Amino acid sequence: MIETRKLRAEGIILPSYPVTRKSLISIAVITAILWVVFAFLVATGRPTFPLLPIVGTIWLAYQLLRLRSMPH
Q: Is residue 10 part of a domain?
A: no
Q: Is residue 13 part of a domain?
A: no
Q: Is residue 27 part of a domain?
A: yes
Say if residue 64's pLDDT is above 80: yes
Instruction: Kindly report the average pLDDT of the chain as a whole number.
Output: 89
Say if residue 71's pLDDT is above 80: no
Distance, in Å, from the CA atom of 63 to the CA atom of 50, rounded to the nearest integer, reads 20
Q: Is residue 46 part of a domain?
A: yes
**For the chain, how many structural domains are there in total?**
1
Q: Is residue 3 part of a domain?
A: no
pLDDT tens for each residue of 21-36: 999 999 999 999 999 9
Contact 56, 32 (CB under 8 A): no
Structural domain harbouring 49: 18-69
The DSSP H or E segment spanning 44 is none
Q: Is residue 4 part of a domain?
A: no
pTM of the model: 0.72
